[in-house]
Amino acid sequence: MNLLSCLLPDATHVRLETWTLEPAQSAITINLRARQTTACCPLCARRSKRVHSRYERTLADLPWGEHAVTVRLSVRRLFCDNKKCERRLFAERLPDVAAPWARRTTRLTGRLTAVGMALGGAAGIRLGRKLGLNASRNTLLRLIRRAPMPDVATPSAALLHGPSGGAAGRADIGISPLV
């Protein structure tokens, strides 16, 4: 694996086709496509290698130094040959590169979410700009809302029901056990 491949999002599943550097714009564009020849139907999970067509997704990625990075990801549409499946065509998914319909790579989304969770909307945007992670306030707030809730410890059974079990617990909260 070469140095450039190490810097790709999910180098295990995508390979670098070409790249361009535009020094005047401090911009890098990398063109990626899936390494695997087959992909799983998202509905029935059957693998397929029958390609219907291709299209290109444009994704913002983490900056490389002072350069903004754009990923152009070539995505295949494949046939699902499972007669029992309702899906005839599906687009291959590369969730470690980007979620379906996302406009940012997964790793950029994670970085923005972390900044937003730590600082909130306005301060998060200010720091994000300094780090080369540009996003609107609405985007940052949307990412914060979508972020999974942190794990919260649930009260133990002993706390809920008391050390002697369910009957004591019900008595504790004023409900007498039926006898």
Interacting residue ranges for Zn ion, rule: CB under 5 A: 41, 43-44, 80, 82, 85, 87
Tell me how far apart the alpha carbons of residues 177 and 164 are, in angstroms, rounded to a whole number: 13
Q: What is the 3-state secondary structure (H, E, C) of 41-108?
A: CCCCCCEECCEEEEEEEEEEEEEECCEEEEEEEEEEEEECCCCCCCCCEEECCCCCCCCCCCCECHHH
Closest to Zn ion by CB, 86 or 151: 86
Q: How far is the CB of 93 from Zn ion (least distance, A)?
A: 13
CA angle 119, 123, 127 (to 5 degrees): 95
Closer residue to Zn ion, CB minimum distance, 66 or 86: 86
Q: How far is the CB of 74 from Zn ion (least distance, A)?
A: 22
In the complex, least distance from residue 46 CB atom to Zn ion, rounded to whole angstroms = 5
The residue among 40 and 119 lying less far from Zn ion, judged by its C-beta, is 40
Closest CB to Zn ion among 93 and 142? Answer: 93
- Spatial contact of 59 and 30, defined as CB atoms under 8 Å apart: no
- The answer to whether 103 and 58 are in contact (CB under 8 A) is yes
CA-CA-CA-CA torsion for 85, 91, 92, 96, nearest 10 degrees?
Answer: -120
Q: In whole angstroms, how close is the CB of 57 to Zn ion at the nearest point?
A: 21
Residue 26 or 82 with smaller CB distance to Zn ion: 82
To Zn ion, the closest distance from the beta carbon of 54 in angstroms equals: 19
